A and B are shown apart, each in its own frame.
Chain A
Amino acid sequence: MEYPKNHRQIVDDLTTGRFVLSRDKHFEELVQQEEFYAEFFKISFDYNLTITTEYAYLVSKETDENMSRDISIFFAIFCYELDKQGKNFLDGLQYAEYSFEEINLLFDNSSYIDLIQSNKQLKDADARRRILFGTMARKNIIEKISEDRFYFTPAYKVFVDFAKTLAENKLVESN
């Protein structure tokens, strides 16, 4: 049996919880072989493969809720604060670059400061640096440009879609 050319990298990236992005050279192969990989991960590990036009990632039955929740809180506060400043946060997520200092200012001046301070991964500059340049960078949710600057990759859409679903449920409830 012949495996796809970048098989090892595809498996390595996905099984370490990374998002494979459309700009990655092995993304196209993954998309072309979607059926094979969906079955491969399901049968080998009982993981579900999600592929969109911009990214791919794996989901396991048991999930790292704490990490996912911390990143969701990060995005929630980021979007809320940017909107409060009258900026289009969708543009901010899609096109803009940020310095770590800008993120710190957003969080330090947030009206959700109580929630921020009670969260170990977001409570101060050191913690935020760790979640941003550690966890989120490793998972390809952000791309580091330098030691201090970064931009978001299309993986942010998973979190934004999560917020949309919550809103839809809320609107259905209230109607």
Chain B
Amino acid sequence: MIVKAEPKTILHFIYTYFEVLRDLFDLQQDNGLIRKEGLNDTLNQHKKDIKLQLLEYKVIRQVNDDYEFRDVYYKLIEFVLFEFRPLLPEEIDKFGNSITELFRKIKKGIDQDRNILLERIKALSVQIKEFSDAVEKNSIRLLNETRELKGNVSRIDYKEKIQKASFWIEYYIIPLNTILDVNHSQSISNKLLNISEFANQRRLNYDDEGVRQAFEKLYHVLIQTNDDVLRQSKILTNELLPLIERIRTESMILTGWIEFLKNPYKVTPPKFLKTDKDSPYSNKIYLNTIEYFEQFSVADEAIIEADSEEMERWIFKKAKYKEQLIKSLPVQSFFDWVNKQLKSEDKHITNEKLFALTCLLFEDDLEITSYSKDSTVKIKTDTTNLNVPKLKVTQNGIPEES
């Protein structure tokens, strides 16, 4: 691949057209590549006809009819914009494999060719730095994603929020945490600790000074990386994971509440104790009674309408009726007399009036005689037809005049 242009020309080109490059970068971030139409639209919007230079300076390359940034420029723009693509844990884990393999070969060839040993130590250093960078970029990106989710910038509903939070936790955060967890025997952090221990010994006791110095450099890279990884691990476990777990839990609870509030009377609420078995002398009765009555204390508004017609309340004046009864003695049929008496006062004969007057039968100075068993009188009140015995009333001790 030959680039004809001067390096400064290319850098100047990037500087001059950075706004265009940024929009193209966004397109590639969203779609994985820059569609032909997307490229043309962006260039037209900015009124910059730079397609040829983009290809000539090897900033983008053609993929069938579409385009994409060359990796080096993509990473540059990603880095300067601080907009990293979240790496899948598998992408980070690959550093673990190369680090393990290089370390294995360094140990195996420790007393063999000096030059290849030095090259391997250098390569191991590069891999460790790249691993550290990848972890840091990922933490930044995941934190941004999580905070965006928390702030709900995209205005997504709670259900989608749960799904997004679960997705980040399951596919990114937990696996990344495993990679960084120093207590996990297979984690990269654990491997780095082993390498660090090895490098520490060799930087002191290797015969060749050049190799000793190479181990010394590697050792310092490892100390720095271990610190960085530990810091990232803490961000992950202390900040990121609790934050996203909380988003998931809160969204879950709110989804439930919204579902409940749609029709709270259709859902069976949590079950509790029904306290309805108290005796009046129980010491709990006071509070429970208050609670019971509180349920009804906020009754709906009630309107009392005045009676259209005032009824005079009937009062049983025993002395008056007794006097009238005595005046009418002898009475051949007590209930007929009652009927007639009440009708003379008011056309309404009620059971209440009839039974009240019945008490006259129990007066000591009156003698009650019944006729034969079947001799009855029919009395009609406002509500009832009564069949009552025919009773004769005379004054006690005074024989009936013949």
Chain B binds chain A: yes
> Could you say which residues of chain B place their CB within 8 Å of the CB of A17?
272-275
Partner of B259 from the list A73, A77, A130, A170 (CB cut-off 8 Å) is A170
B388 within 8 A of A: no
Contact with A along B254-273 (1 / 0, CB 8 A): 11111111001101111111
> Could you say which residues of chain B place their CB within 8 Å of the CB of A62?
274, 276
| Binding site secondary structure of chain A | helix
> Could you say which residues of chain A place their CB within 8 Å of the CB of B257?
75-76, 79-80, 163, 166
How far, in Å, is B257 (CB) from chain A's closest CB?
4
> Could you say which residues of chain B place their CB within 8 Å of the CB of A112?
261
| Binding site secondary structure of chain B | helix
Whether A16 touches B250, Cβ cut-off 8 Å, given contacts A58-B273, A166-B259, A170-B259, is no
Partner of A134 from the list B265, B271, B294 (CB cut-off 8 Å) is B294
Whether A162 touches B291, Cβ cut-off 8 Å, given contacts A16-B275, A83-B250, is no
Segment at the interface with A among B89-97, B217-225, B282-290, B367-375: B282-290
Partner of B261 from the list A80, A158, A168 (CB cut-off 8 Å) is A80
How far, in Å, is B124 (CB) from chain A's closest CB?
44
Query: Chain A: how many interface residues by the 8 Å CB criterion?
Result: 54
How far, in Å, is B392 (CB) from chain A's closest CB?
61
Partner of A121 from the list B159, B272, B298 (CB cut-off 8 Å) is B298
Contact with B along A126-170 (1 / 0, CB 8 A): 110010001100100000000000000000001110111111101
| Complex alpha-carbon distance, A47 and B261, angstroms | 29
Partner of A64 from the list B246, B267, B274, B290 (CB cut-off 8 Å) is B274
Contact with B along A1-34 (1 / 0, CB 8 A): 0000000000010111100000000000000000
Partner of B272 from the list A68, A76, A115, A171 (CB cut-off 8 Å) is A68
Taking beta carbons and an 8 Å cutoff, which residues of A are in contact with B?
12, 14-17, 47, 57-60, 62-69, 71-73, 75-77, 79-80, 83, 88-90, 112, 115, 120-121, 123, 126-127, 130, 134-135, 138, 158-160, 162-168, 170-171, 174
- Would you give 20 A-B contacts (Cβ < 8 Å), ordered by A? A14-B273, A15-B275, A57-B273, A60-B271, A60-B272, A68-B272, A73-B261, A75-B257, A79-B254, A80-B254, A120-B295, A121-B298, A127-B298, A134-B294, A162-B269, A163-B255, A167-B162, A167-B256, A170-B255, A170-B259
